[in-house]
Structure 1
Amino acid sequence: MSSLERGIVVVIKNLSLFIGYLIVIPLIGRPVMIWMVKNTPEGRPVNKLYIHAIVVSFFMLGMLAGIFNQPFLAGAVVLGLAVPEGPPLGSELVNQFELFATWFLTPIFVTCCVMKVDLTICGPPTLIIVVSGFIIMVHLIKLLQCVTICRYCNMPRNDGLCLALILSCKGVVDTCSFILVYDGLRQSQQAIGVMVISTLILATISRTGVKLLYDPSRKYAGYQKRNIMNLKKNSELRLVACVHKPNHMIHIKDFLDLCSPATDNTLIADVVHVMELVGRTTPIFISHRLQQKVGSTHNYSGELVVTFDLFERDYAGTATANTYTAISPTTFMHEDVCYLALDKNAAIIILPFHVRWTKDGLIESNDNNIRSLNSKVLDKAPCSIGILVNRDSTTNFAHPSNGCKVAMIFLGGPDDREALCLAKRFAKNLDNTLFVYRLLSNDHDSTGWEHMIDDEELREVRGAYVKLENVKYEEKTIEDASETTTFLREIANKFDFIVVGRRNGVKSSQTLGLENWTEYSELGVIGDLLASRDMETKASILVVQQQLTTSLPST
């Protein structure tokens, strides 16, 4: 047999083995991994033995690929595609290997690849000019086509250009593919050098251009009044509530109980379970009421669905609770929350505070991801926002049978007026008791516009509402920050629930100087005082910020 015939036989043999390799791995590997998922109890991590078995299989498949002259990574790619996405297996594999692979191995791998190329591009200038011109021409044509099609579809010019830049962006995979071409001796060193440099330039231009041209918060611009203060009397209250952890469900349910759903005070709550995207590539948004399937055997947010279905059943005809699951990267979680509020025409978003306390008043956990989400929602939300702080995780602040003692601390301003409108809804349940404290200073301007608006909003509380046995109104003269702190300490343990306005950026003599000592800026001065570790209280706190109204940006 001639050498040519032997070469053809080897090629056919290796090709047949590789095709069988691609077929057998998913046929055997995926059913085995699905079996691992089924044998993992709900909510529990995957057995470490399963993870070790997958890692050993990965190395064995890489060695097997070398037998028929295929790269080591071929086995890794095929096995990775066979892994069931999402929790518990996919997310566990990502958690185990992402730090080491992404932040340690990937930079070394890219560096080794680029070291093979001479980036000084010393070679025939004609070749360099031809390759550079071809790259520029291809990307200009791509940009022009994309922008033209976007304009034909009535897409704004800036958005079309951003889409074109995103489609033109290149990264690690493209760099590695160039090096594989170079290793195969199909391109010269100068040509590959131009390609690698073009990848770096395009990635930089795309990233910078998209940041300059596209503002995702533009669609949340406050061109409509979506707040409680502007709701008609006895109209339904629409709200969006966030849940991150199981204990948040109890606090959110207690808050919904406190909203006192009734025939003249109906409530529509959209509760979204926000989860971090781990072990999958595509974010998903699930509406549990529509029973949308996500192509996974994992039962997402089962406890959440049951909890709020029972709440809706308890308030049949007066309350509606819709449940959702949003799985997305931590940097884009606020987009899901804000878009849901915009789509459902919500008047307020309720967010859980990032700190959790023990029964003894000590800090049990502090989740910076939740704090980052809350800060982004405060800046971008299309409606009002309330941050719910629960100081005692062992008790419920809402008691449907015994009622709840609520305090509303009013200093003035749009945030306090919004908080007052919400507090008045709590008082519609006669079992709840509402105390409204207005803090005034001797030098306040009674003829000022803001003061007049405050008086108008409080008129109903001092008039019709104060005639009710469950509503009390009291004015306090407070001169400085020390008197404010003393007053808060006096009332902190008298109530189950305290409502305050955030009053971000608003200065007054009652809080002058306290801004410099604020630990949690998202709570404002009064909310931060009530949530501080020095304040001994078991009361839950709601810090309200009224919708930030802005003008729509031009497109």
Structure 2
Amino acid sequence: MENIVLETLAAIGEVYFNFLIAVKVDVSRVLSTNKKAWSIGATSFALPFSILFLLMVGCINYIGGVTRTIFCFGMSTFISTSYIPAVANALEELNLVTSEFGLLASSCAFVHSLILWSLMPVALVLTQKTHDKSIAAALSLFALALFTFFVVRPTIFWMVKKTPQGEPVREVFVVLTLVGVLVMGCLTNILGLSLSLGAVLFGCIIPEGPPLASILVEKSETFVSDILMPLWYFRVGIEMDVHSIYNWKAFVIFHCILLVAYFAKFVGVLLASLSFKIRPRHAALLGLIMNCKGAIDVMVFLRWKISKHVLDDQSFFVLVSSTLAVTAFVTPLVEIFYKPQTLHECAYNNPSNNPQGLIRAIQSTPRNSKFQIICCIHNEENVRSIITLLEASNPTEARPICVYVIQLMDILGRAVPLVIPYNKHNLRQFKWLLTSTSFSFDHIMQAFTNYSENSIGRITIHPFTIIAPYQNMHENISKLAQDNLVPLIIVPHHENQRATQGNRVASAIQVLNTNLQKHAPCTVGVLVDRHFRNSSSGHFSYDVAIIFIGGRDDREALAYAAQMSHHPNVSITVIRVISLTNKKDHDENDSEYVRMERMMDEDVYDGFKMENIGNACVVCWEIMVDHILSVVDPIRSSGRHYDLVMVGQRHFEVDNFDDKEMPAFATNDDLGVVGDIIYASFNLYGGWSSLLVLKHCGDYV
């Protein structure tokens, strides 16, 4: 009785595991894979398949339990294939999902999957015992495919269509879909096919991402992976028996055959990668990661043993143990030897990629060239504050602004990340994806397009959607900044998303912002939106305060203020903060580095004042304070309403303040010490001022 219960729960776990994999896979992506991935994927499949098939046919007597040569074809196919979930899980564990290496590995795994899906119907027909059964199996599979695509698929899309935009799918639709997985599994089982085949077919017809796929993954993945799948693993463990090894010669020969197959796949990937001029180290590591195996492989082996009766206990033990050994060997090697060249290293080591000399900064951007900005958007709530900030940035004919608007979406409900340019040519291709999301991408882009068309200054918009895990999303954004020499990235603060997207998403966005500040090849601005209120007359006006303490981050803030200062409707107030504590001893104790920093601070500050002599919209104050909390006093005591307060994230001068009594509410590391104090002060004392905290790449010495 216990075995029946365990087998039933394990089978259910297997069905839902395969369903969730199919839900995350975008079949159309396979067809759009580039030539490089097609070549590497095809070569890395064909070479091990040919070698393994010949070896298994020649050594059939050493594979216990195998009685039919046709089985060698199936075994060679599955061993030579790299499955998307296995590769994707390994990349996620190694934090390489959004790297170029990870994207290429995912694309190659997609090619393998397409080859496998093409061969599965052939194998299903050939493995039948009689011609009548082969014809019946083919007709059954064809009828099931027609039923799935012409009956079930329209029903799924009707559910999606019935879901209002921006709202979650109704619970009844979620329940019906999850029950439908079991129904499809039962249908395939009645037809004599695998339980999991019906689940895979059902999963493939569900549009990936929101609203349906993401909610299915969110509600069921934890239960499947943490409850049902461990029971399935336990069942596999029961089926493995070390004492079943009765022929050590056959045991060793079978292991050697599998080892040759894995090595052949490695060589196939290596040769194909080198032909596309991929770095030898990355080509070798790609060959290793393509040998990763996962639960699907073991599912196939278990089915061959229990249902097909073509594997005996010893052969099953060899296959499963080799799968575990190869994965356990490959993953640490990739983690140890994969040393990606960071964007910072690219900027310093390859000046041709960075003609301005070093990593981009607002200060180093020529005044007679276009000013490029990447603006990240999570939902419609971020649009107004970003557009207002762009208008204050003073786009003109002499210095136009080029904006890369990126809508950021979690990868939940998808297998691999995507970067989608939004334009008229590919709108139809991705329309089903964009209109099925919980955020209104069309409305967001229409708002930016309208602003671009109606702006007095010259501003161009380049819209994108990035779909990736939040923990890796900074790599896609940084690459876009690197490729286009963008000096400034603006991202919304995570607290602005908490009310609309919940604590989980807000925490993930905080991780994204922190990663961007660490790894971006330019300046990153974190925008705390306080719902800017423009004048009711429709006349644009903007009042900005800059707290200038010192350091490269504050110099970036002042450089951005210089960009705004020539806008006739933008008022700039620069508050130069000087530490009163130990001021007389600075020159005696300061290092050469600190002296150079202070000299650059004075040069930038004096240059800003000289540039704005006679500009009635610019005011500069100099104040001396003895406590870090006092930096917000001029803002509170001025009696003015500032629409935006700008400050750098890091200040080496903060060490000179008497900051032993730091406020307990200063907890936002991405805003820095001073930025967090300003943020908390606004919370405590009220006010509508927004906050922009700028951090330039690189660390202080």
Same fold (TM over 0.5): yes
Does residue 210 (structure 1) correspond to residue 345 (structure 2)? The answer is: no
Does residue 472 (structure 1) correspond to residue 619 (structure 2)? The answer is: yes
Match of 2:418 in 1: 284
1:354/1:119 CA distance change after superposition, 3 Å: farther
Residues 24-39 of structure 1: pairs in structure 2 closer than 5 A: 24-39=147-162
Please tell me whether the aligned partners of residues 245 and 251 of structure 2 are also in contact (alpha carbons under 8 angstroms): no
Cα deviation per residue 1:496-555 (whole Å; 9 max; x = unaligned)?
A: 2111011177753136447795411111111111112445442111111113389xxxxx
Match of 2:323 in 1: 199
Where 1:42 maps in the other structure, the secondary structure is coil
Where 2:554 maps in the other structure, the secondary structure is helix
Q: CA deviation at 1:308?
A: 0.2
Match of 1:408 in 2: 546
Return the match for 2:448 from 305, 308, 333. 308
Greater shift in the superposed pair: 505-514 or 36-45: 505-514
Where 1:440 maps in the other structure, the secondary structure is strand
Greater shift in the superposed pair: 449-458 or 394-403: 394-403
Return the match for 1:383 from 522, 532, 536. 522
Does residue 233 (structure 1) correspond to residue 367 (structure 2)? The answer is: yes
CA distance in 2, matches of 1:211, 1:452: 43
Does residue 452 (structure 1) correspond to residue 592 (structure 2)? The answer is: no
1:462/1:330 CA distance change after superposition, 3 Å: closer
Greater shift in the superposed pair: 494-503 or 291-300: 291-300
Please tell me whether the aligned partners of residues 498 and 506 of structure 2 are also in contact (alpha carbons under 8 angstroms): no
Match of 1:498 in 2: 645
CA distance in 1, matches of 2:186, 2:323: 32
Match of 1:421 in 2: 559
Where 1:367 maps in the other structure, the secondary structure is helix
Match of 2:94 in 1: none
Does residue 462 (structure 1) correspond to residue 609 (structure 2)? The answer is: yes
Match of 1:144 in 2: 267
Does residue 440 (structure 1) correspond to residue 578 (structure 2)? The answer is: yes
Return the match for 2:384 from 250, 265, 283. 250
Greater shift in the superposed pair: 505-514 or 297-306: 505-514
Q: CA deviation at 1:357?
A: 8.9
TM-score (norm 2): 0.71
Greater shift in the superposed pair: 170-179 or 140-149: 140-149
One-letter identity of the residue aligned with 1:148: L
Please tell me whether the aligned partners of residues 257 and 400 of structure 1 are also in contact (alpha carbons under 8 angstroms): no
1:549/1:524 CA distance change after superposition, 3 Å: closer
CA distance in 1, matches of 2:673, 2:535: 23
Cα deviation per residue 1:35-72 (whole Å; 9 max; x = unaligned)?
A: 33333333333333333333343333333333333332
CA distance in 1, matches of 2:406, 2:613: 36
One-letter identity of the residue aligned with 2:458: T
1:504/1:171 CA distance change after superposition, 3 Å: farther
Does residue 323 (structure 1) correspond to residue 463 (structure 2)? The answer is: yes
Please tell me whether the aligned partners of residues 578 and 622 of structure 2 are also in contact (alpha carbons under 8 angstroms): yes
1:506/1:143 CA distance change after superposition, 3 Å: farther
Match of 1:522 in 2: 670
Please tell me whether the aligned partners of residues 427 and 434 of structure 1 are also in contact (alpha carbons under 8 angstroms): yes
Does residue 66 (structure 1) correspond to residue 200 (structure 2)? The answer is: no
Residues 533-552 of structure 1: pairs in structure 2 closer than 5 A: 533-534=683-684, 536-548=686-698
Please tell me whether the aligned partners of residues 254 and 396 of structure 1 are also in contact (alpha carbons under 8 angstroms): no
Please tell me whether the aligned partners of residues 257 and 398 of structure 1 are also in contact (alpha carbons under 8 angstroms): no
Please tell me whether the aligned partners of residues 357 and 365 of structure 1 are also in contact (alpha carbons under 8 angstroms): no
Match of 1:162 in 2: 285
Q: CA deviation at 1:365?
A: 9.4
One-letter identity of the residue aligned with 1:31: P
Return the match for 2:309 from 181, 185, 193. 185
Where 2:342 maps in the other structure, the secondary structure is helix
Q: CA deviation at 1:379?
A: 1.4
Cα deviation per residue 1:255-307 (whole Å; 9 max; x = unaligned)?
A: 11111212233211111001112333343322223541444524441111111
Return the match for 1:371 from 487, 510, 514. 510
Q: CA deviation at 1:197?
A: 2.1
Greater shift in the superposed pair: 37-46 or 365-374: 37-46
Cα deviation per residue 1:216-262 (whole Å; 9 max; x = unaligned)?
A: 56245343331111012243210101011221111111111111212
1:55/1:145 CA distance change after superposition, 3 Å: closer
CA distance in 1, matches of 2:663, 2:560: 29
Please tell me whether the aligned partners of residues 341 and 383 of structure 1 are also in contact (alpha carbons under 8 angstroms): yes
Please tell me whether the aligned partners of residues 356 and 364 of structure 1 are also in contact (alpha carbons under 8 angstroms): no
Match of 1:553 in 2: none
Q: CA deviation at 1:347?
A: 0.8
Where 1:473 maps in the other structure, the secondary structure is strand
Please tell me whether the aligned partners of residues 422 and 463 of structure 2 are also in contact (alpha carbons under 8 angstroms): yes
Where 1:165 maps in the other structure, the secondary structure is helix
Greater shift in the superposed pair: 284-293 or 270-279: 284-293
1:423/1:254 CA distance change after superposition, 3 Å: same
Name the Cα RMSD after superposition: 3.1
Match of 2:114 in 1: none
Where 2:467 maps in the other structure, the secondary structure is strand
Q: CA deviation at 1:430?
A: 2.3
One-letter identity of the residue aligned with 2:655: S
CA distance in 1, matches of 2:535, 2:670: 22
Q: CA deviation at 1:402?
A: 4.9
Structure having the higher helix fraction is 2
One-letter identity of the residue aligned with 2:545: A
Please tell me whether the aligned partners of residues 355 and 365 of structure 1 are also in contact (alpha carbons under 8 angstroms): no
CA distance in 2, matches of 1:515, 1:217: 38
Cα deviation per residue 1:157-182 (whole Å; 9 max; x = unaligned)?
A: 22112211111111111111121122
Does residue 347 (structure 1) correspond to residue 493 (structure 2)? The answer is: no
Match of 2:218 in 1: 95
Match of 2:80 in 1: none
Match of 2:84 in 1: none
Residues 120-139 of structure 1: pairs in structure 2 closer than 5 A: 122-139=245-262
Where 1:278 maps in the other structure, the secondary structure is coil
Cα deviation per residue 1:201-229 (whole Å; 9 max; x = unaligned)?
A: 22223322222233456245343331111
1:142/1:426 CA distance change after superposition, 3 Å: same
Does residue 42 (structure 1) correspond to residue 165 (structure 2)? The answer is: yes
One-letter identity of the residue aligned with 1:520: N
CA distance in 1, matches of 2:178, 2:267: 46
Cα deviation per residue 1:182-206 (whole Å; 9 max; x = unaligned)?
A: 2233223222223222222222233
One-letter identity of the residue aligned with 1:548: G
Please tell me whether the aligned partners of residues 181 and 187 of structure 1 are also in contact (alpha carbons under 8 angstroms): yes
Does residue 335 (structure 1) correspond to residue 482 (structure 2)? The answer is: no
1:42/1:460 CA distance change after superposition, 3 Å: same
Where 1:429 maps in the other structure, the secondary structure is coil
Where 2:655 maps in the other structure, the secondary structure is coil
One-letter identity of the residue aligned with 1:305: M
One-letter identity of the residue aligned with 2:391: D
One-letter identity of the residue aligned with 1:66: N
Greater shift in the superposed pair: 482-491 or 155-164: 482-491
1:278/1:139 CA distance change after superposition, 3 Å: same
